[in-house]
């Protein structure tokens, strides 16, 4: 297994939010828990060579969030995964968390867009504009929704022309 986190940050102590970007309010963790599929991301070494990237969120007994990120490595011929822990930076109603995969080192997980009626899609930023993910509950996102999220990210100053779009197998092939 790679000694890196998959999907979400491992930046030591970088738990901020980009200037001019705001995390969602009225966030409900219980509705956010479960499986999310990566739809698009900005490139980072810890996800290179991976496809069918997913994040599974569940509650730990201490109230923190268990994060299980995984992706398929064609080179290794298997899924690789990393387990982490997330905690709220502010209050549980603001979509700002800090995530750790390696001991005391935390990275920012800022939910900057969210389908509040259905919790079907989300857009996540790191501490700066170098980190961006678009996630969905299903392996594909409707084209109009994806376009709206990409347009929002572009307006916020993210390099959307550099987005990498993930590939997921048909649902009957998802283990």
Band (pLDDT 50/70/90 cuts) for residue 102 is confident
Residues 6+ apart with CB under 8 A from 78: 72
Report, as an integer, the average pLDDT of 85-93.
Answer: 95
**E strands present in 23-172:** 34-41, 50-59, 65-73, 78-88, 96-102, 105-114, 121-125, 132-136, 164-165
> Up-side HSE of residue 65: CA atoms within 13 Å toward CB?
26
Q: pTM of the predicted model, to two decimals?
A: 0.88
Report, as an integer, the average pLDDT of 31-36.
Answer: 98
Query: Model confidence over 153-166: pLDDT tens digits?
Result: 999 999 999 999 99
> What pLDDT, on the 0 to 100 scale, is given for residue 96?
98
Does 1 have pLDDT greater than 50?
Answer: no
């Amino acid at each position: 297994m790679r000694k890196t986190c998959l999907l979400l940050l491992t930046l030591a102590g970088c738990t901020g939010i980009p200037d001019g970007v705001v995390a969602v309010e009225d966030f409900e963790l219980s509705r956010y828990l479960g499986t999310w599929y990566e739809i698009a991301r900005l490139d980072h070494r810890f996800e290179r060579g991976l496809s069918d990237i997913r994040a599974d969120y569940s509650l730990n007994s201490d109230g923190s969030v268990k994060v299980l990120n995984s992706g398929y490595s064609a080179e290794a011929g298997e899924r690789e995964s990393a387990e982490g822990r997330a905690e709220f930076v502010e209050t549980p109603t603001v979509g700002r968390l800090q995530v750790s995969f390696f001991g005391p080192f935390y990275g920012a997980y800022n939910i900057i867009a969210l389908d509040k009626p259905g919790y079907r899609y989300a857009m996540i930023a790191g501490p700066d504009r170098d980190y961006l993910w678009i996630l969905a509950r299903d392996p594909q996102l409707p084209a109009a929704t994806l376009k709206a999220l990409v347009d929002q990210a572009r307006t916020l100053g993210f390099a959307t022309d550099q987005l990498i779009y993930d590939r997921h197998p048909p649902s009957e092939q998802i283990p």
